[in-house]
Amino acid sequence: MSSVIEQIEQQIANLQNKTVATNTGKILTIGDGVAKIDGLSQVMYNEMVEFPGETIGIALNLEEDEVGVVVLGEASHLKEGDEVKCTGRLLSVPVGKGLLGRVVDALGRPVDGKGAIDSSETYPVEKIAPGIIERKSVDQPLMTGIQSIDSMIPIGRGQRELIIGDRGTGKTTIAIDTIINQANINKVGLASGDPDFRPVYSIYVAVGQKNSNVARTLGILEEKGALEYTIVVSAPAADSAANQYLAPYTGAAMGEWFMSNGMDALIVYDDLSKHAAAYRQMSLVLKRPSGREAYPGDVFYLHSRLLERSARVNENNGNGSLTALPIIETLAGDLSAYIPTNVISITDGQIFLETDLFNQGIRPAVSVGLSVSRVGSAAQIKATKQVAGKIKLELAQFRELAAFAQFGSDLDAKTKAQLDRGSRIVELFKQPAFNPIPIEQQVAVLWAMQNNYFDDIDVSKIVEASNSLREFFSSRKEGLLTSIREKAKIDDDLATELKTAVDEWKTSFN
């Protein structure tokens, strides 16, 4: 009790009788979460303004004689004539490691019922992306734990790789798998005590999703032990359009803090289609001119300024990185729609998921032909390059030949071999959800595939064989896996060891 009295006394002692200058305005109209304000002559673009009842808004439309403000949060108590004050501050959110394992809203306030967030630092939600001088090219891998992606469409730290596909094709699953894989790698790396190990912290931004979906994702992250390395920013479908618009920038601010402090972070924007729709709603209510599909003219800038904040910075700037995995939902596989083409052009590649493949049971349903990684191959480890260099080409040839093979029964031996190999690769890449595979196991399995160890195994048994081989390696050849992980390339010694091990497995599997 005495401490409370001391605190009040301290506050009173600090209370100086000085003049406080504020710039104010009055609400002219309010509706749909947008208020038109008369006054606020000194307000800045994107400045936080304060309504009665400690409600916050952001000034988004600075017009000649009124200001359009988007109200963040509950606006039902606000009425015409209420006073609004400038704060002189741009919107900022709490950042730091204290947020790991927490679920926050678009303003960085905790929504998980775990109490206050242990964070003393704040970071502006909107910030100009790092410039050319601060950047460095992508040269470190970010393993997703998904074989088809790590081998054919590799992602590097600081890259922006779009995950795109129709609803229900496994887009979120790929992102969650990647987050789980980072947590798995972090656990191994931190336990090893390697001073050069750089953990990757994850941020998952849920925009316009059902609360049940967010709860399910949280449950999975918690179950897999990944939540302790993850921050979840949630602006569910029931949230206002303003909060849904802000959430990705809030997540980016949290991720950027890791990057600017020399750490690596991964951010998933799930998804930017809903983000664009929320921005469209807000812009229409603000009476901004609408363009194609009623989106405002700056919808490209909306996403480009967000995704440009993902970068790999050089040693002079801390050597950190922020990798982005934005998600876009297409309608009937239409990649040429407005928002998909925008985001495809901004990102450094895309992972396209096909409904047909998904329905055929090929999961993850990655379309090899339409997926690409523009910078990630520079970051791929040598071991993966050695074993997976030709796989994308082989798989692409397989798809083409498989289409032709449907028309005729007589096939020459070479075509048949290509088809056999392709169908085995397809089977090999099948992987259950939320079970990322460590890179050393991926290398071992792909090495066995490249060295024809799966050729005499029936196609229907490839998944079983692959699981068995991975099980064999993890239970009996732990040392070999560690060598692959540490050397990151297959030299002659390792190739001999791999051959001996796979031969041993083959006799037991048959």
Looking at the annotation, which residues are catalytic? 374
Tokens of 41: 């002559």
We find the least distance from the C-beta atom of residue 50 to another protein, in angstroms, to be 10
Nearest to another protein of 7, 482 (CB atom): 7
Closest CA to 250 of 163, 122, 158, 129: 122
Count CB atoms within 10 A of the CB of residue 121: 12
- Residues within the interface to another protein (CB under 8 A): 7-8, 11-12, 15, 17-25, 39-42, 54, 65
Q: Give the nearer residue to another protein in terms of CB position, either 24 or 474.
A: 24
- Integer angstrom CA distances of residue 382 from 144, 247, 446: 16, 37, 13
CB of 25 to another protein, least distance (A): 6
Q: Is the peptide bond before 124 cis (omega within 30 degrees of 0)?
A: no
Helix (H) / strand (E) containing 431: none
461 contacts: CB under 8 Å, gap ≥ 6 = none
Output the smallest distance, CB 45 to another protein, in A. 17
As given in the structure block, the two tokens for residue 459 are 């196609």
How many CA atoms, within 13 angstroms, populate the side-chain half-sphere of residue 374?
Answer: 13
Q: Give 37 or 299: the residue with its C-beta nearer to another protein.
A: 37
d(CA 315, CA 456): 50
Rounded least distance, CB 7 to another protein, Å: 8
Q: Shortest distance, CB of residue 193 to another protein, whole angstroms?
A: 45
Nearest distance from C-beta of residue 53 to another protein, angstroms: 12
Considering Cα of 376, then 380, then 386, then 388, what sign does the dihedral take?
A: negative
Q: Is the dihedral angle over the CA atoms 166, 168, 169, 170 positive or is it negative?
A: positive
Nearer to another protein, 22 or 452 (CB): 22
* Residue 390 CB contacts under 8 Å (≥ 6 apart), including other chains: 450
Residue number with CB closer to another protein (8 or 190):
8
Residue (7 or 452) nearer to another protein, CB: 7
Render 162-224 in DSSP notation, one character per residue.
EEEESTTSSHHHHHHHHHHHHHHHHHHHHHHT-TT---EEEEEEEES--HHHHHHHHHHHHHT
